[in-house]
Structure formats: structure tokens, C-alpha cells
Amino acid sequence: MQLEQRSRSVESTWSGSVPTAFDGRILGLVVILAGFAASLNVPYGGLQFAVVAFALLVAIGTVAHVLGERQLRRLTEGLLEHWLEAGAPIEDVQRSSTGLRTEWTVLTPSGEVTIGGLALVPIGRFAVEWNGVGDSVEASAATEHLDVLAGDLYEEIFEIEAGVQR
């Protein structure tokens, strides 16, 4: 069954944009870990080497977070676009956060769907939670299989809630 073949029964009121999610908490973690790692270099390379290591690690961590946030936002936008094409009634998308997870709350008549994950490129995770049940997958795997993921989640969230059975 393809998403394009499903009927549109309820119109969406969502504006079509997903808010940015640049997260200061993750950057704080990056700075703390970079400081710790750089401090280990003081006895071996001196203070100057530790300062250079700190600056380099903070720069790499910041870039990793920016790229991770972009990846999660693109995944969220792609997922929501697939749902809209299938006729999902999306009311709004708001920025939210839990712990170190970067998240968006999608408001639907079926309830709130939380989409997000860990926004750090090499270890990025993509997670979706609905009705207290969630699942996560590696962000790169979610990017590769977004069509299948969107279809499965659409069926689980919107069709089962509406009482449609296959």
C-alpha cells in the first residue's frame, strides 16, 4: 500500500515548518567533555597544547551538533510531509526537549507524537514516541528508509487510531 493512495479525510492546519532546535544543553556537554579531555593533555603537552586541544574539541563537537540537528530536522520534516500526503491531520509542530534529546511535539487529533533524538552526527539517534510507546533507530538508517518508516508509523498512529483495519 502506498502513501499516495490513501484518502485525505481531514485537512491539516500546520504551517509546514519545523522549528530549529539548536540545543545549548548539548553544547554544554560538549564544552565539559572537551575541557576534561583537554585537561588530560596538560601534563604531557603543556597548557598551550591543552588550550589548542580544547578549542579543537569544542569546534568539532559544535559542528557535530549542528549537523545532527539538521539531520533530525530533515527527518522530521520528511516524516511529516509523508504523513500529510497520506492525509494525516497535523495541527501544529512545537519544539520540546527531554534530557539531552532534541525533540519536536507534533499535535494531531489522535494525540501528541514526539519526534526527535540525539543530535550528534556520529552517534545520532532518531526516535518517535506516541501514546507512551516509543522506538528509536540510528539516524542514518532512518534517512535511508524514511519511506518505509513513514508508512509504518502512519498506519500505527493514524489508521489504527481511526479504527481502520487491513
Domain ranges of the chain: 20-162
Confirm whether pTM is higher than 0.85: no
The pairing of beta strand 133-138 with beta strand 125-130: antiparallel
Query: Would you state the pLDDT for residue 165?
Result: 45
Residue 94 · residue 103 · CB < 8 Å: no
For the record, the C-alpha cell of 54 comes out as 580544547
Query: Would you state the pLDDT for residue 13?
Result: 63
Mean pLDDT per block of 10 residues along the chain (166 residues) reads 42 70 83 92 88 94 92 91 88 80 86 88 89 88 92 84 51
Residue 89 · residue 12 · CB < 8 Å: yes
Residue 63 three-state SS: helix
| Residues 6+ positions from 14 with CB-CB distance below 8 Å | 80, 84, 90, 91, 92, 93
Q: What is the DSSP string of 3-40?
A: GGGS---S-----S-------HHHHHHHHHHHHHHHHT
CA distance 141 to 58: 27
Query: Would you state the pLDDT for residue 7?
Result: 39
